[in-house]
Chains A and B, each alone.
Chain A
Amino acid sequence: VQPPEKPLQAEEWDRLRESFQSPEIFEEVMFNSMVRCNSPIDVAKSLLTHVAKSNGDIAYNLLLKYLALCVQQGQTSEIRDVYDIMKIRFRILESGAYNLVIKGLSNSDQWRMGLTLLEEVKKIMIPSRTNYESCIKAASRHQEMNLAFELYHEMLAKDVVPTLDVLQAFFDFSRGMKGAELQKELFGILLYLRENQIYPHKTFMRSIKLWFESIPGGNWRGHLTNIKDSGLCPVCNHQLEDSDLTEEEYNNLRERIIRDVIHGTDTFRKTSPQEFEAFQTFVENRLPFDIVIDGLNVSHIKPRRMQCENLFDAVNCLAKENARLLVLGRKHMLINSSNWKREVMKEMQNKADFFFAENISEDDAFLLYATLRSGKHCKFVTRDFLRDHKACLSDSLTRHLFRKWQLIYRVNSKKMFLSLFIQQPAFSYDCVVQTTGDTWHIPYKDSFEEKYSYQVPRKWLCIQQQ
């Protein structure tokens, strides 16, 4: 339906309504298209007047849609009026109306009214992140940074995740402002990015850079750069943080993997207690390994070749460096078949230790256990991303540790046997926001660049104090 361009008289609305296929929902459809076409609010008003005069009442959803139209066009006084009417007419409002009113008022000079509404929302539910976003942006736009930060901390305390826009607004609006307290808060946001492994996008990064450079008497200078593979920053010659897990993190991860991934809710789901015990004693007697190989996974690298040949190549290639190898497989590999030749298997067993799990057990869990038990230097070879195992971990912190560890300890299999699989090279430095006090290094992503979750950004913002 195309909404009319000018306000209409009652009879005209009536005529339009009758010509519409289903007159019961005419007003709703008309309002929807008004919002879509951003019609002048006078037209909407004339329709409301018509509805009010013929029914003596206006339904809540129509008011809501009218409100959306007003918010869209920034008609502050109308927003207030509609809100007042809603308040008189209905005892409480629902989240949709509050969202609209708060958003509408925050963008106007009556933004303080939005704050009182936020308080009202809190009485019935947890405000949404957009509620907070509007209020925080409004407060910081009017240079009330204390108030903005108060709201920000409140939302964090309620486990509401702030949008990047909110964080960016803090940097945008405190540009050039003085105050140690303010500076501390903004550093706090950067640390929040660090802790949650969030990478700012390009425009956000620019806001951060401008803020640093605008600190009065701070003498900060920012440069965009790429970090070398060695982890050296070419601008300030500073070495970035090591990506190794700390001793505590490592032990923590190992325990969690044994508890959540291998045992989980039921040890029988992935293995059996007898088998796991047998594997444990097997590993303990032969520790430590340098490389653990997922035999079945590696054997499928080149589909045209015999599976045992693939594995044989891999073992040969890795054994050359005098490393202690462990190959994990399943019992069916021992049966002489077209894919698994007994002689080849025998020869391989001279070069590496083999453990064969039951055919219905999951060998990945063993792979993780053997690698973690061997210590930090041990690597594992597989093309598997082990996502299902990561998902078994119970909390996000451990999941992150797992990912970090996975990136570090996987050998790049592309180099070794020219498989089609491309894995990101493991960096020796840690890709998070980091600081030494007089320098900050912030990884960022180009907004248009597509980024997979397992990739980390290559571009950095280096900020140093002169």
Chain B
Amino acid sequence: MQSANVLLKKIVRSSVLPFAAQHGMKKDLFPLHRTLSLSLCLKQDNSGTPSEKLDLDAWKKVMKSGLQEEVSETVAEHKELSTLAAARETLEMWRLAGRSVPENISEEQLKTFMECPSKSAKKKYLKYLHLKELYKKNDRRKMDEKRERKLEAQKQASETDETKRSSFVCLWANTMDKAYSWRAAQAMIFGQPLVFDMSYEKDMSVREVANTVRQIVLSEGCNRRSVDPFHVHFCNLKDDSLYHKEFMKHYREAWGKLLITVTDQCYTDIFPKDKLVYLTADSPKVMKTFDHNKIYIVGSMVDKSIKTGVSLARAKRLGLETAALPLEKYLLWNSGAKNLTLDQMMHILLTLKDTGDWKKALEFVPKRKYCGFVSKPVHELKKTLNLINTLKLGKRQEEVRRQFAKNYSKKLTQK
């Protein structure tokens, strides 16, 4: 860069382009420099010796030389590639070609990749793995940085050597855990039951099941930390199911020590039917208040392709009461589906249980999904919203029409 600037200055000084020197030197530095340096070089080239003539095919020689013998033996070695190995090689080539493909791929992932039914499914899966890898790498990098910073801080602290005094021994995590467990144990005896219905495995893909379990793990965690936890029930959970396998991946040994009830029985076998309420976004009934005597059921299902009516069908089959959250009543809905994630549900239910305040509870609905809380009567708000929309749309339609007319006339004139 610097050399280029020097070069530029030289040119300017030699007054090839005095105009440029006077105007916008700094601003136009980059583009100016490029063209200038180029023309200068070309000039030099012309005046230079003819022996400097470019050999345009030199790169071929470089590419062909030196590699011949080494490569030829590997080719012989790998004459017959197994399909898995071939897929791995293709992936590697795709990565070299600059597609979003993970750097490392396990045997298992490779098999899933091969089993993808279509080309687009394969592409999607690879992109997913690629992004996952990137996130992981970033996390690791951040962790390393943090550790280094910590070490440095410690070094500084040891230099200053200042002793802290406190009346408690620092055992935070441990004591907190104990306190939480104590509360959860209490909830197991006296707490209000909350049921997760684990009977949707056949309606979900493997990834959806994994997501579901992740969300349940999060909800269990926030339940444990709450002031007055629910007594969580996992119902219809079969021992050899995918759900179970995923849970084992998350909890490992802790699975046996969780203070919740896990059963393969249905909730209708455990609780009286008239006390059960199935929470589903498809329900025609809207929940008005949180009832402390009812037992709420949440369907453990992630449906990325929104399958309407699956959990409602289940409640209908069992003849249970259903309810939906009063999202419309309290929030000015903007976009997105009305089904919430399981941990959001848990947050909302816990808040309702503690305070009964809908506004506070519905804070946990993602902000992108609503414009704001309803303050005026709903029909009034809707009217203004409709008005705004028609104005907006009306304007846009007009614009589209104008654009179209413009393009069309352009086409005609071109012909």
A42 to B55, CA, bound (A): 10
Main secondary structure of the interface of A (DSSP, over half): helix
Instruction: Give the residue name and chain of the A residue nearest to B316 (CB).
Output: A268
Is the beta-carbon distance between B284 and A94 smaller than 8 angstroms?
no
B194-243 residues with Cβ-Cβ distance < 8 A to A are 203
In the complex, chain B residues 30-44 whose Cβ is within 8 Å of any chain A Cβ? 30, 33-34, 37-38, 41-42
Q: Which residues of A contact B284 (CB under 8 A)?
A: 359-360
Interface pair B30/A19, CB less than 8 Å apart: yes
Among the listed B3, B86, B89, B310, which residue makes an inter-chain contact with A269, where contact means beta carbons less than 8 Å apart? B310
**A-B contacts, CB under 8 A, total:** 120
Q: Say whether, besides A52-B59, A94-B97, A360-B284, A266 and B38 are in contact (CB < 8 Å).
A: no
Asked if A11 CB lies within 8 Å of chain B CBs, one says yes
Partner-contacting stretch, out of B70-78, B178-186, B325-333: B70-78
Contact among A49, A59, A265, A359 with B58 in the assembled complex (CB-CB below 8 Å): A49
Taking the closest CB of chain B, its distance from the CB of A103, in whole angstroms, is 16
* Pairwise interchain contact B93-A93, C-beta atoms closer than 8 A: yes
User: Of the candidates B60, B94, B313, B314, which one forms a contact with A81 in the assembled complex, judged by CB atoms under 8 Å apart?
Assistant: B60
B313 touches A88 (CB 8 A): no
Determine which of A8, A85, A92, A266 lies in contact with B63 in the assembled complex, contact meaning CB atoms within 8 Å. A85
A90: CB under 8 A from chain B?
Answer: yes
A59 touches B96 (CB 8 A): yes
B98 contacts chain A at the CB level, 8 A cutoff? yes
With contact pairs A12-B41, A49-B55, A269-B310 given, residues A60 and B63 touching in the complex (Cβ less than 8 Å): no
Given A12-B38, A91-B75, A268-B313 in contact, is the A18-B62 Cβ separation under 8 Å? no
Q: Which residue of B lies closest to A270 (CB)?
A: B309
From A7, A15, A85, A90, give the contact of B54 (CB < 8 A). Answer: A7
- Whether B171 sits at the interface, judged by CB under 8 Å, is no
Q: Are B59 and A45 in contact (CB under 8 A)?
A: yes
Interface string of A91-103 (1 = CB under 8 A from B): 1111111000000
Interface size class for chain A? Answer: 35 or more
B52 within 8 A of A: yes
Q: Are B310 and A45 in contact (CB under 8 A)?
A: no
Q: Which residues of A contact B78 (CB under 8 A)?
A: 91
A333 CB within 8 Å of chain B: no
Given known A-B contacts A4-B38, A11-B41, A94 and B90 have beta carbons under 8 A apart: yes
Is the C-beta of A89 less than 8 angstroms from some C-beta in chain B?
A: yes
The reply to whether the CB of A339 lies closer than 8 angstroms to some CB of chain B is no
Contact A125-B90, Cβ < 8 Å, known A48-B59, A81-B60, A89-B63? yes
CB distance A9 to B52 under 8 Å? yes
Is B309 a contact partner of A19 (Cβ separation < 8 A)? no
What sequence of 0s and 1s flags, for each residue 42-80 of chain A, a beta carbon within 8 Å of any chain B beta carbon?
100110110111001111110010000000000000000
Shortest distance from the beta carbon of B33 to any chain A beta carbon, whole Å = 6
Chain B 304-319, CB within 8 Å of chain A: the 1/0 string?
0000111011101100
A391 to chain B, nearest CB (A): 11
- Would you call B252 an interface residue if the criterion is a C-beta within 8 Å of the partner chain's C-beta atoms? no
Contacting pair A6 B42 (CB below 8 A) = yes
Provided the pairs A61-B96, A91-B74 are in contact, do residues A42 and B56 lie with their beta carbons within 8 angstroms?
yes
Is A422 on the interface with B (CB-CB < 8 A)?
A: no
- Structural contact, A61 and B98, CB atoms closer than 8 A: yes
B98's closest neighbor in chain A, by CB?
A61
What separation, in Å, do the CA atoms of A94 and B122 have in the docked complex? 14
B45 within 8 A of A: yes
Quick check: is B64 within 8 A (CB to CB) of the other chain? yes
Give chain A residues whose Cβ lies under 8 Å from the Cβ of B203: 265
Q: Is B4 among interface residues, defined by CB-CB distance under 8 A?
A: yes
> Provided the pairs A9-B41, A88-B67 are in contact, do residues A58 and B97 lie with their beta carbons within 8 angstroms?
no
Report if A49-B54 is in contact (Cβ < 8 Å); known contacts: A60-B96, A61-B96, A64-B97. Answer: yes
Q: Is B1 an interface residue (CB 8 A)?
A: yes
- Which positions 99-116 of chain B face chain A at CB distance < 8 Å? none
Min distance, Cβ A132 to any Cβ of chain B, angstroms: 14
Of B54, B68, B96, the residue contacting A9 (CB under 8 A) is B54
Q: Return A170 CB to nearest CB of chain B, in Å.
A: 25
Does A272 have its Cβ within 8 Å of any Cβ on chain B? yes
- Whether, in the assembled complex, A124 has its beta carbon less than 8 Å from a beta carbon of chain B, the answer is yes
The reply to whether B45 and A45 contact each other, CB–CB distance below 8 Å, is no
A45-B316 Cα distance, complex, nearest whole Å: 71
Q: Does A37 contact B (CB under 8 A)?
A: no
Contacts of B33 in A (CB 8 A): 19
User: With A12-B41, A15-B41, A85-B60 in contact, is A268–B34 under 8 Å at CB?
Assistant: no
The docked-state distance in angstroms from the alpha carbon of A106 to that of B250 is 54
- Do A97 and B63 have beta carbons less than 8 Å apart? no
Does the CB pair A49–B56 fall under 8 Å? Answer: yes
By the criterion CB–CB under 8 Å, are B63 and A269 in contact? no
In the complex, given contacts A268-B313, A269-B308, what are 10 additional A-B residue pairs having Cβ atoms less than 8 angstroms apart? A18-B1, A18-B4, A57-B63, A60-B97, A61-B96, A92-B89, A97-B93, A266-B313, A268-B316, A272-B316
- CB<8 Å pairs between A and B, sample of 18: A7-B56, A9-B45, A9-B54, A16-B38, A18-B3, A18-B4, A19-B1, A19-B34, A49-B58, A52-B58, A53-B58, A88-B68, A91-B78, A95-B90, A97-B93, A272-B316, A272-B317, A359-B284
B residues apposed to A, CB below 8 Å: 1, 3-4, 30, 33-34, 37-38, 41-42, 45, 52, 54-60, 62-64, 67-68, 71, 74-75, 78, 81, 86, 89-90, 93-94, 96-98, 203, 284, 308-310, 312-314, 316-317
Binding site for B on A (CB under 8 A): 4, 6-9, 11-12, 15-16, 18-19, 28, 42, 45-46, 48-49, 51-53, 56-61, 64, 81, 85, 88-97, 124-125, 265-266, 268-270, 272, 359-360
